[in-house]
Amino acid sequence: MALSWGDLPAGRVLRLAGVDSRIDANVMELLLDPLPETGPAVVTYTATDGDSASGVVESILRELETLAIGLFPAWLPGGERLSGPGGGGVAAARILATSLASGTRHFAPFLADLAARAIQHGGPLVPGQRVPTGRSFPAESRAAGLARVIASTFGRESAALVVYVPERPASREETFLVAGCEWLAHRSGMGIWLVGPELSRVETFHLEVPSAVRRLAEEMTAPPPIATAGVPPIAGRPHAGSAVERAMEAALAERAWAHGRTWNQMYHSKDPLFVMIRTDLMWVPEKCVVELDGPEHETPAQMERDRIRDRHLERDGFTVLRFTNQQVMSDLGAVLRHIEEFLRGRRLGMNEGAG
Q: How far is CA 280 from the centre of its chain?
A: 12
What confidence score (pLDDT) does residue 212 get? 66
Average pLDDT over residues 206-228: 64
pLDDT tens digits, one per residue of 330-345 = 999 999 999 999 999 9
What are the tens digits of pLDDT across the range 18-58? 644 444 666 676 677 666 677 888 888 888 877 899 999 99
In whole angstroms, what is the distance from residue 91 CA to residue 68 CA? 19
Could you count the other beta carbons within 10 Å of the beta carbon of residue 131? 20
Of 167-176, 239-248, 280-289, which gets the smallest average pLDDT?
239-248
Residues 6+ apart with CB under 8 A from 249: 238, 263
Mean pLDDT of the chain: 83
Residue-level pLDDT at 130: 59
Domains plus CATH for the chain? 5-63+161-228 (3.40.50), 243-354 (3.40.960.10)
pLDDT at 132: 59
What's the chain's length in residues? Answer: 355
Q: Give the per-residue pLDDT at 324.
A: 93
Q: How many CB atoms lie within 10 A of CB 102?
A: 9
Residue 23 vs residue 269, higher pLDDT:
269
Burial class (CB in 10 A: 0-12, 13-18, 19+), 324: middle
Cα dihedral sign for 48, 50, 54, 55? negative
Per-residue pLDDT at 348 exceeds 80: yes
Q: What average pLDDT does this structure show over 277-303?
A: 87
